[in-house]
């Protein structure tokens, strides 16, 4: 299991989640539309969820159907 960043991050991307992550597994550069969570490093603590002002972050098992594709997008970001 891992946590996943979904569509609402796009256009906000304020990095509030980065500051609270105890394992520093949330990444993205200036060219990326959103940030991404490395599923291999995330320890499922959930701290980032309440830090996000736009409710973009979900446990992978709780991602709304319309944003399921973001599960693979987060994983793929760290394989490129
Ligand atoms: S759930 Fe915890 S470890 Fe995973 S990205 Fe969020 S803050 Fe980091
Ligand atoms: S706190 Fe939410 S909107 Fe801000 S960068 Fe993290 S996921 Fe994106």
Closest atom, ligand 1, to C-alpha of 45: 2
For ligand 2, whether the C-beta of 21 sits within 6 Å is: no
Distant-in-sequence, close-in-space partners of 79: CB < 8 Å, separation ≥ 6: none
Ligand 2: nearest atom to the Cα of 8 = 3
pTM above 0.95, yes or no: yes
Kindly indicate the confidence band of residue 80, based on its pLDDT and cuts at 50, 70 and 90: low
- Three-class SS of residue 71? helix
pLDDT digits (tens, 9 = 90+) for 18-77: 999 999 999 999 999 999 999 999 999 999 999 999 999 999 999 999 999 999 999 999
Atom 2, ligand 1: residue with shortest CA distance: 45
Q: Exposure string (b/e) for 3-20, b if CB count within 10 Å is 16 or more?
A: bbbbbebeeebeeebeee
Predicted pLDDT at 67 = 98
C-beta 53 within 6 A of ligand 1: no
Which of 79, 80, 56, 53 minimizes the C-alpha distance to 67? 56
pLDDT at 30: 95
């Amino acid at each position: 299991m891992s946590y996943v960043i979904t569509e609402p991050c796009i256009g906000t991307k304020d990095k509030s989640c980065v500051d609270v992550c105890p394992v520093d597994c949330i990444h993205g550069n200036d060219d990326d539309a959103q940030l991404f969570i490395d599923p291999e490093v995330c320890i499922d603590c959930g701290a980032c969820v309440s830090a996000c002002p736009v409710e973009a972050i979900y446990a992978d098992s709780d991602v709304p159907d319309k944003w399921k594709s973001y599960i693979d997008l987060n994983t793929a970001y760290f394989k490129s």
